Amino acid sequence: LIKGIRNIQAKKVLCILLFLSSVSDSPPMALLEVEALVIIGLYKVAKKLFNKAADYWKQAIKLAPNNYIEAENWLKTTGRYLT
């Protein structure tokens, strides 16, 4: 789990949550909650980065409309392409 996390802040949060789960009454359940929180946090970060990438692709497509067909398809399939 820790190996997959690259964000330093996420590692700090994970360490705190793991410590809290170790002093919890039911460590297995607490660990599942920790994993869920980490996954949710990483999902939010990934979503922000994909949205930022979509903004850049939209700008590139405006500059050269026929040069980025694959990016345009990606925007359409992910629901980020607004005409």
List, in order, residues 6 or more apart from 18 with CB less than 8 Å away: 31, 34
* C-beta of residue 2 within 8 angstroms of C-beta of residue 11: yes
Give the pLDDT band of residue 31 (cuts 50, 70, 90).
low
Long-range contacts of 3-10 (CB under 8 A, 24+ apart): 5/38, 5/42, 7/42, 7/45, 10/38, 10/41, 10/42, 10/45
Q: pTM for the whole thing?
A: 0.55
Q: Specify the residue for token string 């392409």.
A: 81
pLDDT on residue 48:
84
Query: Alpha-carbon distance 53 to 19, whole Å?
Result: 35
What is the mean pLDDT of the segment spanning 6-21? 65
